[in-house]
Structures are given as structure tokens and as C-alpha cells.
């Protein structure tokens, strides 16, 4: 099974924010050189989630979608699942799974501590 990973961010009209997200995805790709990893934006930038899914579906039968969102709010709970449902209807043979947002992961607490130390 050809598996792909799609990392999704909210999106921004500001190019520096888009570039920062793309750099993060690039670093993740470097960490896992054998994996097929792509990125997409929910809104305000491209590629959109549907564009990225269509591109990945050409060579991948399974797409794992990782939302780079902090909490399970409306975008993660409703908007992204709606996009994935529409994609599945168009591509019934494709297997698409949505991961959980970052949430209250203990590693985020460590990052907060690190940021605080840099302010002191």
C-alpha cells in the first residue's frame, strides 16, 4: 500500500507564515526521508486540502491527514472532516484517515517552559 502523509495548517495570507509552515513540513520530511509527505492549507493559501488530496491520490492508496492545529475546534471537528468526506465520495477506493490535533500534549508544556526561559 502506498501511503502518504498530508500535514494541514490553517493558512494565512501572509507569505512569511506560509513559508514557516512549509519549512516545518520540510524538516519533518527530512526526518522521514522514505515517506511521502505533503502539506496543505485549510484556507487563505495553496495548496488547498482538496488540491493536495487530489495530487496525493495519483500515487497513494492511503492518505494520513495530520492537522497542525492546537485544539479540536470547529475546523478539526467539522470543516476538515467535510472536505475529507467529499474527497472519499470522489475517490471511493482511497483510504483517508484524520489524526488528532496537537491538543494538551505534555511536550507542549515543555515548549512553553522553554519559551519562558528565553524571556527571563
CA 95 remoteness from chain centre: 16
pLDDT attached to residue 120:
80
pLDDT (0 to 100) of residue 69:
95
Of 53, 118, 63, 120, nearest to 90 by C-alpha is 53
The percent of residues above 90 in pLDDT, for the chain, comes to 92
Reported as a single tens digit per residue, the pLDDT across 95-109 is 999 999 998 899 999
Length of the chain: 120
Q: Give the pLDDT confidence of 1-40 residue by residue, as tens digits.
A: 699 999 999 999 999 999 999 999 999 999 999 999 999 9
The full set of domains in the chain, from first to last, is 3-119 (3.40.50.1400)
Q: What's the pLDDT score for residue 1? A: 64
Amino acid at each position: 500500500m502506498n501511503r502518504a502523509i498530508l500535514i494541514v495548517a490553517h493558512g494565512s495570507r501572509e507569505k512569511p507564515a506560509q513559508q514557516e509552515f512549509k519549512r516545518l513540513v520540510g524538516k519533518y520530511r527530512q526526518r522521514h526521508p522514505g515517506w511521502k509527505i505533503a502539506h496543505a492549507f485549510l484556507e487563505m493559501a495553496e495548496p488547498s486540502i482538496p488540491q493536495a488530496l487530489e495530487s496525493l491520490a495519483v500515487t497513494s492508496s492511503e492518505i494520513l491527514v495530520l492537522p497542525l492545529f492546537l485544539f479540536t475546534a470547529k475546523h478539526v471537528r467539522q470543516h476538515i472532516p467535510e472536505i475529507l468526506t467529499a474527497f472519499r465520495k470522489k475517490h471511493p477506493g482511497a483510504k483517508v484517515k484524520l489524526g488528532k490535533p496537537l491538543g494538551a500534549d505534555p511536550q507542549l508544556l515543555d515548549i512553553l517552559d522553554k519559551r519562558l526561559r528565553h524571556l527571563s
